[in-house]
Structure 1
Amino acid sequence: MVREADRKVTAYHEVGHALAAQLLPHANRVAKLTVVPRGRAAGFMMPDADDRLHVTRPALEDMIAVALAGRAAEEVVYGEITTGAQNDFQQATNIARRMVTEWGMSDRIGKVALASDQGSYLGGGPQMQPMSEATAQEVDEEVLALIDAAYGRVLSLIREHLNGVHEIVRVLLRRETLSGEEFSTLLAGGQLEEVPAVSLGKVPLPGLT
């Protein structure tokens, strides 16, 4: 059984992802939000299917921001962070690094490919081309800059909508799962039909009385 403290952290984490997905202009909107464990995940936010053939730099920057928004929500609400964002950081870092090394989206390094799929062992992903130590440092610095900028955006977003985040978490803990439409209704300040609380009961939330 999931500890109630962990369930609350998961709720804030997933609502953070959902808030960014719903409000950032180039992100995929929310399809589903749940705190029901599945596999190793304590909960998840499912975005709408993405059928774009070409992804722009602003869309990639919003993908990074959405990936980091769960961690940002934990920091804003609890003033500390947990280990639950490991996969989120891997996803965000992978996107940022590919922007810099594969897709020519680096302002500092230029429109060059520093990684290639050609000759990769057993399809093990893009392989970095030989580069100088100075270039490698520039890659690392630009990846960090992309991630820091995205994290700053979602921190501001969550602080701006913190009262709404608390209310959505309250409802999510009671219902356990929200559809994209239900999430949109709550984010806009609307109400959902009351349902019986889950067996764990009503939980006091940070910042609420």
Structure 2
Amino acid sequence: MTGAELANLVNEAALLAAKAGQQQVTMKDFSEALEKVQLGAARNVVMPEQERRRTAFHEAGHALLGMLQPGADPVRKVSIVPRGRALGVTLSTPESDRYGYDEDYLKGRIIGALGGMAAEEVVYDVITTGAESDLENATAIARQMVGRWGMSEKVGPVTILPSDGDPRMMGISDKMLSTVDEEVRRIIDECYGRAVDQLREHRHQLDGIVTALLDAETLDEPEIYAAAGIERPRTIPADQEPARATVPHP
């Protein structure tokens, strides 16, 4: 966060503490303020039980796949309380600031992003509009992997997609752009297939998270890992983390 963003976070936490009649701002206030700033304010929406259960499976899919991917950012919170435009949220953040990402990590991000849609297919055999923002996120990462970060053998270590402007203005051919699209589709298809396979293999853990979510509506980090029966990953000091290929933040 920038200084201004941190100041806004502190102000939100102070307001929450004041509304609760507290004399001090606690960590709970900061956590709730962070949710409001990053995820949006909670909405008072009464969802039908069937929709609530579907949302629980969707968010549990995100969370479980996030926990299963090697080297993935820890899952911090899962909630089926509607916030902003979303019916539920799953929050994952790294232990420390990260500035470079390798191919395996990025594919893990895509798999996690597709977890909601994959869970709905595994459990209900349908795909709903709830995956819209997830697909946007997954597609954006895959396009940058192929078109900007040289993570496709078929395209090679070249920049095809500029950060702004029309790639055709750089002399990129329609054939090469078509190849980029094919590679993006390949990455998404492979990651989605892995998401579905992993959720089917770990269905009992998916159900465990859903049961806990339907009961509590919001799960913090220890509760999430406990519900899934997965050991919380050990924290690695920043100076001991393995070296990673340096690419911009997706």
TM-score by length of 1: 0.83
Question: In the alignment, what sits opposite 2:150?
Answer: 104
Is 1:55 the equivalent of 2:83? no
Q: Distance in 2 between matches of 1:18 and 1:164?
A: 11
Q: Write the distance in 2 (CA, Å) between the matches of 1:130 and 1:83.
A: 37
What is the aligned partner in structure 1 of residue 176 from structure 2? 135
1:154 aligns with 2:200: no
TM-score by length of structure 2 reads 0.70
Report deviation, 1:86.
0.3
Shift of 1:136: 1.4
Structure 1 CA distance, aligned partners of 2:55 and 2:118? 12
Q: Is 1:25 equivalent to 2:90 in the alignment? A: no
Q: Which amino acid aligns with 2:50?
A: A
TM-superposed deviation, 1:106: 1.4
**Residue among 7, 10, 15 paired with 2:60:** 15
What's the CA shift for 1:19? Answer: 0.5
What is the CA distance between 1:94 and its match in structure 2? 0.3
Give the Cα separation in 2 of the matches to 1:188 and 1:130: 52
Structure with the higher helix share, 1 or 2: 2
- What's the secondary structure of 1:134's corresponding residue? helix
Aligned to 1:43: 88
The equivalent of 2:111 in structure 1 is 65
Size of the alignment, in residue pairs? 183
1:77-99 superposed Cα distances (whole Å, 9 cap, x missing partner): 00111110000000000000011
Q: Deviations over 1:50-106 (max 9, x none)?
A: 621111111111111100011000000001111100000000000000111111111
Partner Cα distance (1:142, 1:90) in 2? 16
Give yes or no for contact 1:15–1:165 (8 Å, CA) kept in 2.
Answer: yes
Q: How many angstroms apart in 2 are the aligned matches of 1:83 and 1:116?
A: 30
One-letter code of the match for 2:225? S
Shift of 1:4: 1.8
Distance of 1:127 and 1:84 partners within structure 2? 30
Maintained 8 Å contact 1:15/1:70: yes
Match of 2:133 in 1: 87
Contact 2:74 2:93 in 1 (8 A): yes
Q: Distance in 1 between matches of 2:230 and 2:70?
A: 20
Whether the 8 Å contact between 1:72 and 1:155 is mirrored in structure 2 is yes
Deviation by residue 1:136-172 (Cα, 9 ceiling, x = unmatched)? 1111110000001111111111001112211221111
CA RMSD of aligned residues (A): 1.6
2:121 equivalent in structure 1:
75
Please list the CA deviations of residues 90-136 of structure 1 after superposition, one character each: whole Å capped at 9, or x if unmatched.
0000000011111111110110001223xx4xxxxx65344222111
The runs of 5 or more residues in structure 1 that have no matched partner are 121-125, 191-209
Secondary structure at 2:114 match in 1: helix
Going from structure 1 to structure 2, the CA distance change for 1:95 and 1:189 (only over 3 Å counts) comes to closer
Matches within 5 A, 1:112-127: 112-117=158-163, 120=164, 127=166
Do the aligned partners of 1:27 and 1:66 also contact (CA within 8 Å) in 2? no
Structure 1: which 4+ aligned runs deviate by more than 6 Å?
none
Q: Which residue of 1 aligns with 2:20?
A: none
Inter-partner Cα distance in structure 1 for 2:145 and 2:49? 39
Identity of aligned residues (%): 42
Whole-angstrom distance in 2 between the partners of 1:113 and 1:32? 36
- In the alignment, the residues of structure 1 paired with residue 228 and residue 190 of structure 2 have an alpha-carbon distance, to the nearest angstrom, of 24
